[in-house]
Chain A
Amino acid sequence: GQQVKQSSPSLTVQEGGISILNCDYENDMFDYFAWYKKYPDNSPTLLISVRSNVDKREDGRLTVFLNKSGKHFSLHITASQPEDTAVYLCAAGASGTGNYKYVFGAGTRLKVIA
């Protein structure tokens, strides 16, 4: 089954607005959550991540929110810029003993328009 799901394949936001990207997960064992930015034909770049012992983390214009009871995490990008246009991948992992498995979502294509 799809353990990590990004329900919105695409999102268009006006320049200066807030982009909100969402990710849902199924596995209660996930304790690490991350967001990556990816351009076509390029590898993903880590943007921000959190462990399950926090429910919010900010880094500049980026904020990740974690809702463990709802099995949901999101990325908020404030003051969105045209250069934020890219595919955003969410990822989750479980740090069980000897377990280094990560699961990625299918991605949300963000377009920021002027």
Chain B
Amino acid sequence: AQTIHQWPVAEIKAVGSPLSLGCTIKGKSSPNLYWYWQATGGTLQQLFYSITVGQVESVVQLNLSASRPKDDQFILSTEKLLLSHSGFYLCAWSPQYAEQFFGPGTRLTVL
């Protein structure tokens, strides 16, 4: 069975500080991977997707970047956090273009 793990579970960071969030999928080779963000009270928004190692496409520009260094790993990062980056970050995977399955998420608070 496939499992998806995100780290950290929660993070409190200062404005202007760097950020790195991680996502790992086990039990599935060459999955499509996605990053989503939901502001408090907001709608879930797709940020990035990747269909293969080293290839990432941006969907929404939020001064964030993403990378896929390994087949099973997806990283979301920024060098300088903004207050508006606060929210719930979700990683998801899908077998091909199909149903998406979400990880447990990371709660980010920027102060």
Interface residues of A (CB under 8 A from B): 32, 34, 41-46, 49, 89, 91, 93, 95, 98, 100-107
Pairwise interchain contact B99-A103, C-beta atoms closer than 8 A: no
Contacts of A43 in B (CB 8 A): 90, 102-105
Tell me the smallest distance from the CB of B49 to a CB of chain A, in Å: 5
Pairwise interchain contact A104-B44, C-beta atoms closer than 8 A: yes
User: Size range of the interface on B?
Assistant: 20 to 34
Cα A49 to Cα B44 with chains together (Å): 18
Contact check: which of A34, A93, A101, A106 meets B43 at CB < 8 Å?
A106
Cα A102 to Cα B48 with chains together (Å): 10
| Interface of A (DSSP majority class) | strand
> B100: CB under 8 A from chain A?
yes
Cα A104 to Cα B43 with chains together (Å): 7
Contact check: which of B42, B44, B51, B107 meets A100 at CB < 8 Å?
B51
Tell me the smallest distance from the CB of B63 to a CB of chain A, in Å: 20
> B34: CB under 8 A from chain A?
yes
B28-64, CB < 8 A from A? 32, 34, 42-46, 49, 51, 57, 59
* Contacts A43-B104, A98-B51, A100-B57 supplied; 14 other A-B pairs, CB < 8 Å: A32-B98, A43-B90, A89-B44, A95-B97, A98-B57, A100-B32, A100-B49, A101-B46, A101-B59, A102-B34, A103-B46, A104-B45, A106-B43, A107-B43
